[in-house]
Amino acid sequence: MAKEGAERAEETEQMIEKEGGREGAEGSLRAADAKEMRAVVLSGFGGLNKLRVCRRAMPEPQEGELKIRVKACGLNFIDLMVRQGNIDNPPKTPLVPGFECSGIVEALGDSVKGFEIGDRVMAFVNYNAWAEVVCTPVEFVYKIPDDMSFSEAAAFPMNFVTAYMMLFEVANLREGMSVLVHSAGGGVGQAVAQLCSTVPNVTVFGTASSFKHEAIKDSVTHLFDRNADYVQEVKRISTDGVDIVLDCLCGENTGKGLSLLKPLGTYILYGSSNMVTGETKSFFSFAKSWWQVEKVNPIKLYEENKVIAGFSLLNLLFKQNRGGLIKSVMDKLLNLYNNKKIKPVVDSLWALEEVKEAMQRIHDRGNIGKLILDVEKAPTPLVS
């Protein structure tokens, strides 16, 4: 009987391993299963209490994919909007959030070329980045320069590609132009400032919380408090306005940005952080913000010679199949990094278990640069 029981136990374990483990009575076996991983899971749309770290089945690479042992993950404002369900066509929950990470190649799917096991890489991921292991198509993966840390690599793709695409692909930034960027102390804002410095005589106007001014004053030509009347401040310095406006706020700032454009100037909307006013989605606040958006009159655009545009890197990558274009941009950016022209700014490192606190810091706009989830970091003990 003892022998028969041992054989049944072994058979049960083999079945669990084969089927990836099922919820229920075999939970203790699954916890010990080497094919599981830790991941941040969003159980439903809403507040910070919808996030928790739990164990998930480890993914395996499909054809054309790389399996990456994650070292660091980037946090972006879009992640707050995802948590609230404040985006178009959000995926079903439960889900693992996150769109960028860095780590080490652990396995290669069929037909993958150009990478080897052990390569240090950074990658875009269509969700699922906030985990110990991710799998993503090879076209979204890039090798990390030798002197770039994993935390810097996790801070690089979203911010710098977004900034570069808006400045050079959409707005055609050239010598002597002027740029207004909101949230100048954030990850994208700092990337914009650094990229503008690679072009001669570009004037950068920035808005940011006053407590950030001392830290970022050297990267921005003219810095204004985010709550001040920046329109009048800009016009006082440049009566004609600016050539490029980069708006991640939306709401009333849309009309203000358009009013500041010079003839042939370009306004680019790439976010709507004003829509996120509390921990959970407020339809009243959302409606109020949209009500403040100035209605765009096409005839007025034509008469004033102004350009209005939008930019979404995630849609460009995952819905509009522009991975090849993004790769060419990444090549240019890595060349700038290797020549010490740009460098990602990391605000702070957080354990996976501290994701709620990290998200709150972004919501409070307390960060200067990028917040990073460090997969190997232990949570900071609470001080009584």
Are residues 181 and 62 part of one domain? no
Of residues 61, 70, 199, 197, the one with CA closest to residue 144: 70
Q: What's the chain look like in SS3?
A: CHHHHHHHHHHHHHHHHHHCCCCCCCHHHHHCCCCEEEEEEECCCCCHHHEEEEEEECCCCCCCEEEEEEEEEEECHHHHHHHHCCCCCCCCCCECCCCEEEEEEEEECCCCCCCCCCCEEEEECCCCCCECEEEEEHHHEEECCCCCCHHHHHCCHHHHHHHHHHHHHHCCCCCCCEEEECCCCEHHHHHHHHHHCCCCCCEEEEEECHHHHHHHCCCCCEEEECCCCHHHHHHHHCCCCEEEEEECCCCCHHHHHHHCEEEEEEEEECCCHHHCCCCCCCHHHHHHHHHCCCCCCHHHHHHHCCEEEECCHHHHHHCCCCHHHHHHHHHHHHHHHHCCCCCCCEEEEECHHHHHHHHHHHHCCCCCEEEEEECCCCCCCCCC
- For residue 228, the model assigns a pLDDT of 87
Q: What confidence tier does 116 reach under pLDDT thresholds 50, 70, 90?
A: very high
What is the extent of the structural domain holding 172? 158-318
- For residue 254, the model assigns a pLDDT of 83
Which tokens is 309 given? Answer: 């545009």
Alpha-carbon span 40 to 132, nearest angstrom:
9
Average pLDDT for 337-353:
97
- For residue 27, the model assigns a pLDDT of 46
Q: What confidence tier does 227 reach under pLDDT thresholds 50, 70, 90?
A: confident
Of residues 382, 366, 377, the one with CA closest to residue 77: 366
- For residue 291, the model assigns a pLDDT of 47
Are residues 80 and 45 part of one domain? yes
22 within a domain of the structure (yes/no): no
CATH code of the domain covering residue 280: 3.40.50.720
Q: What confidence tier does 89 reach under pLDDT thresholds 50, 70, 90?
A: confident
220 within a domain of the structure (yes/no): yes
Are residues 293 and 365 part of one domain? no
% of the chain beyond a pLDDT of 70: 84
From 280, 299, 318, the end of a domain falls on 318
Are residues 125 and 68 part of one domain? yes
Are residues 189 and 113 part of one domain? no
Average pLDDT for 318-347:
97
pLDDT per residue as tens digits for the range 307-319 = 999 999 999 999 9
- For residue 240, the model assigns a pLDDT of 95
Alpha-carbon span 158 to 9, nearest angstrom:
48
Are residues 166 and 150 part of one domain? no
272 within a domain of the structure (yes/no): yes
Are residues 204 and 139 part of one domain? no
Q: What confidence tier does 21 reach under pLDDT thresholds 50, 70, 90?
A: very low
46 within a domain of the structure (yes/no): yes
Average pLDDT for 10-22:
40
pTM (global) more than 0.75: yes
Average pLDDT, the chain: 87
29 within a domain of the structure (yes/no): no
Of residues 184, 221, 224, 215, the one with CA closest to residue 202: 221
Are residues 305 and 162 part of one domain? yes
1 within a domain of the structure (yes/no): no
Q: What confidence tier does 33 reach under pLDDT thresholds 50, 70, 90?
A: low
Average pLDDT for 204-209:
94
pLDDT per residue as tens digits for the range 149-201 = 999 999 999 999 999 999 999 999 999 999 999 999 999 999 999 999 999 99
Are residues 96 and 190 part of one domain? no
197 within a domain of the structure (yes/no): yes
pLDDT at 5 over 70: no
pLDDT at 19 over 50: no
- For residue 299, the model assigns a pLDDT of 84
List, in order, residues 6 or more apart from 311 with CB less than 8 Å away: 162, 165, 166, 170, 268, 269, 270
Are residues 227 and 80 part of one domain? no
Are residues 259 and 163 part of one domain? yes
- For residue 86, the model assigns a pLDDT of 83
107 within a domain of the structure (yes/no): yes
Q: What confidence tier does 250 reach under pLDDT thresholds 50, 70, 90?
A: confident
pLDDT at 30 over 50: no
Q: What confidence tier does 62 reach under pLDDT thresholds 50, 70, 90?
A: very high
- For residue 381, the model assigns a pLDDT of 75
pLDDT per residue as tens digits for the range 237-247 = 999 999 999 99
pLDDT at 248 over 80: yes
pLDDT per residue as tens digits for the range 259-290 = 999 999 999 999 866 555 555 555 545 444 54
Q: What confidence tier does 14 reach under pLDDT thresholds 50, 70, 90?
A: very low
CATH code of the domain covering residue 354: 3.90.180.10
Alpha-carbon span 273 to 102, nearest angstrom:
26
Number of independent structural domains in the chain: 2
Alpha-carbon span 123 to 134, nearest angstrom:
10
% of the chain beyond a pLDDT of 90: 74
Are residues 84 and 187 part of one domain? no
